[in-house]
Structure 1
């Protein structure tokens, strides 16, 4: 798949405790939402538990505001022997849904884990 599925993996509204010193949403909060969404997609593809092992690229494009509704989209971009690259995109919905802005994107790597938490092969499908 070359385009993101347009069904979000997560939808969430940040709260007042998620604001940084500049009045925008803290980057670490957004990163954690991306990691959760990417983990869901990777675990489905791996048919079992996964762990985040790298963030190959991460770009904060626009700030996230307190009242934004955040949609996190993710899809598996590549599959190796034990790992998967998951492309993640975050869209902010503003003005009661009238405006959509891409705020963040990144490429995360997840590794499939066996029952002893060691890397295991991913089914090539």
Structure 2
């Protein structure tokens, strides 16, 4: 049996190794998934996860841009596994690239199952933020 054929896959065809590797990026948010955040199926609503990721990415973008930023795009989003009530949700953010006025941030969301037990990658995405000046217009990064 080849290495490819012997690799375990999880739900939605995700590579089990990929969803269990170490997180990439700085821990930006750590919160708990609550019953109020569920969808009709009882899992945590994807929009809630997306909003946590946007906040986490915005914190990293603000650090890189040294000032106010605004979300302009969610360039990619992958939901690997569901988030459950009681999971501790951790968003890790890392800078991918910086442009003249924008910054692209990769955000990974990990869930700690059973409180502090198993850690799995549940969601990841690329977010683009634009640096905003006092006039609320785009400004060059590195200039206040």
Check whether TM > 0.5: yes
SS at match of 2:27: coil
Structure 2's unaligned 5+ residue stretches are 1-22
Mapped to 2, the partners of 1:123 and 1:77 lie a distance apart of: 17
Are 1:32 and 2:51 matched, yes or no? yes
CA distance in 2, matches of 1:123, 1:49: 11
Structure 1 consecutive aligned stretches of length 4 or more whose deviation exceeds 4 Å = none
Q: Give the distance between the partners of 1:86 and 1:96, measured in 2 at CA.
A: 27
- TM-score normalised to the size of structure 1? 0.92
Q: CA RMSD in A?
A: 1.4
Aligned residues: 121
> Structure 2 matches for 1:62-73, cutoff 5 A?
62-73=81-92
* Counterpart residue number, 1:10: 29
Q: Which residue of 2 aligns with 1:100?
A: 119
Which of 67, 90, 100 in structure 2 is aligned with 1:48?
67
What are the superposed Cα offsets for residues 21-70 of structure 1, whole Å, 9 maximum, x if unpaired?
11100011000000000110000111100000000000111000001000
Higher relative helix content: 2
Deviation at 1:4, TM superposition (A): 2.2
The answer for unaligned runs of 5 or more in structure 1 is none
Measure the CA separation in 2 of the matches of 1:73 and 1:93.
13
